Amino acid sequence: MRLLAPTRRRARRGFTLIEVLVALAIFAIAAVVLGAAYVNLMQTHAALRDRDGSEADIAWAREVLLAEPDRAVAERGGDLVLPDGRSAAWRATITPTDVSDLFDVVLEIDAPPPGGAGDLVRVSEPLRLLRPTWSTEAERKERRDRARQRLERERRAM
């Protein structure tokens, strides 16, 4: 009897070392990317928890300003109690624009940081407000007259 040399290879029953190493490398890259994303998410949550809270404070002062119908009182400002019980001072610098009843306003608030410990934090916010109650009839008339004169000059120039 003659022994026959094997002409065919046996069917593969496992992974080669290269295939296993490639799979581990892909898994390691995915783990690094997901780990970095998780750390970034946790840092963002911590930053949001620890932020100074000035956005909520200025929003509260903005509501007080918008509720004030008298321009002189709005320019003087006043004290307000924030929702968490802290006391803050606000004031507004109001500048009329060339348009009747339209004002450029810089709202400022001085408030202690959340928790009450530390120096006052000053936050300001520019606004453009349409407030008919802040204008007098004489100011409206003056602005309308200036606008009319400007339009007449522009028509003559055409």
Residues 77, 61 contacting (CB under 8 angstroms): no
What one-character DSSP code corresponds to residue 125?
E
Interval 34-60: pLDDT, tens: 999 999 998 887 776 656 567 788 888
Give domain status of residue 2, yes or no.
Answer: no
Question: Residue 13 — very low, low, confident or very high, per pLDDT cuts 50/70/90?
Answer: confident
pLDDT at position 3, please?
58
Mean of all residue pLDDT scores within the chain: 85
Q: Is residue 25 part of a domain?
A: no
pTM: 0.60
Q: Show the domain range for 77.
A: 54-157
20 within some domain: no
91 falls within a domain: yes
**Number of domains comprising the chain:** 1
Q: Give the domain CATH number at 151.
A: 3.30.1300
The secondary structure of 73-109 as a DSSP string is HHHH-EEEE-TTS-EEEEEEEEEE-SSTTEEEEEEEE
Residue 1: per-residue pLDDT: 55
**pLDDT digit string (tens) for 73-104?**
999 999 988 887 888 899 999 999 888 889 99
Classify residue 111: in a domain, yes or no: yes
Looking at the predicted structure, is the pLDDT value of residue 117 above 60?
yes
